[in-house]
Amino acid sequence: MRRVLAIVDAAIMGLVVVLWAAFFLCVVAQVFVRYVLQLPLPWTDEVARYAFVWSSFLSASVILGRGQHFSIDVVVGHLPRIAAWIIELIGTALCLAFTLILMQKSAAWAWRLSYARSSVLELPLGVVYAVLPFSAGYMSIHLAGRLVGLLDRGAGGRRPSW
Amino acid sequence: MVTGVLFGSMFLLMLMDVPIVFAMGVAAAAGLLMLPHVGLEVIAQRMFFGLDSFVILAVPLFLFLGELMEAAKITDRLAELAEAVVGHLPGGMGHAAIVTNMIMAGISGSGTADAAATATVLVPAMTKTGYPTAFAAALVGAAATIGPVIPPSIIMVIYASIANVSVGRLFLGGIIPGLLMGGWLMVLTGLFARRMKLPRGPYVGLVGMARATRRAALVLVTPFIVVAGIVGGVFTPTESAAIAGVYALLLGLVVYHTVRPSGLPEIVRRTAWTTGKVMFVLSTASILSWVLARADVPAQLARMPFLSDTEHPWVLLLSLNALLLTFGAVIEAIPALVIITPMILPLAIKAGIDPVQLGVVMTVNLSIGLIIPPVGSIVFVMCGLSRINIMEFAREVAPFIVALIVPLLLATYVPPLVLFIPTALMGPG
CB-CB contact of B426 with B231 (8 Å): yes
> What backbone phi and psi angles, to 5 degrees, belong to A124?
-65, 125
CB-CB contact of B77 with B121 (8 Å): no
pLDDT at position B225, please?
84
Model confidence band, residue A7 (pLDDT cutoffs 50, 70, 90)? very high
> What backbone phi and psi angles, to 5 degrees, belong to B249?
-60, -45
Q: For residue A73, give how far its alpha carbon lies from the nearest alpha carbon of chain B (Å).
A: 5
Do the chains contact at A91 and B16, CB–CB below 8 Å? yes
Do the chains contact at A132 and B29, CB–CB below 8 Å? no
pLDDT at position A159, please?
65
Residues A124, A125, A130, A136, Cα dihedral to 10°: 180
Residue with the bigger pLDDT between B289 and A161: it is: B289
- Residue B14 with chain A: CB contacts under 8 Å: 71-72
Report d(CA B153, CA B62) in Å as an integer.
8
Q: For residue B14, give how far its alpha carbon lies from the nearest alpha carbon of chain A (Å).
A: 6
Q: Is A122 helix (H, G, I), strand (E, B) or coil?
A: coil
CB-CB contact of B416 with B358 (8 Å): no
Quickly count: other Cβ atoms within 10 Å of residue B316's Cβ.
24
pLDDT at position A68, please?
80
pLDDT at position B27, please?
93
- Residue A33 with chain B: CB contacts under 8 Å: none
B309-333 pLDDT per residue, tens: 667 788 889 988 998 898 888 777 8
Q: Residue B423 corresponds to which amino acid?
A: T
Q: How far is CA B209 from the centre of its chain?
A: 30
Report d(CA A37, CA B165) in Å as an integer.
30
Do the chains contact at A52 and B51, CB–CB below 8 Å? yes
- Residue A52 with chain B: CB contacts under 8 Å: 51, 57, 60, 275
The predicted model scores a pTM of 0.88
Report d(CA B138, CA A52) in Å as an integer.
36
Q: Is B27 helix (H, G, I), strand (E, B) or coil?
A: helix
Nearest of B36, B26, B25 to residue B1 by alpha carbon: B36
B24-46 pLDDT per residue, tens: 999 999 999 988 888 888 899 88
Q: For residue B62, give how far its alpha carbon lies from the nearest alpha carbon of chain A (Å).
A: 11
B363-391 pLDDT per residue, tens: 999 999 999 987 788 998 898 888 888 88
Q: Is A75 helix (H, G, I), strand (E, B) or coil?
A: helix
pLDDT at position B309, please?
66
Which B-chain residues 225-284 have CB contacts (< 8 A) with chain A? 235, 238-239, 242-243, 245-246, 265, 268-269, 271-273, 275-277, 279-281, 283
Model confidence band, residue B308 (pLDDT cutoffs 50, 70, 90)? low
Report d(CA B429, CA B414) in Å as an integer.
17
Which B-chain residues 325-354 have CB contacts (< 8 A) with chain A? 330-332, 335
Handedness of CA A150, A156, A157, A158 (dihedral sign): positive
CB-CB contact of B144 with B118 (8 Å): yes
A72: nearest CB among B40, B281, B331? B331
Model confidence band, residue A162 (pLDDT cutoffs 50, 70, 90)? low
CA distances for B40 relative to B21, B26, B28, B176, angstroms: 17, 11, 10, 45
Q: Residue B287 corresponds to which amino acid?
A: I
A53: nearest CB among B48, B238, B374? B48
Number of A:B CB contacts under 8 A? Answer: 165
Percentage of chain B with pLDDT > 70? 99
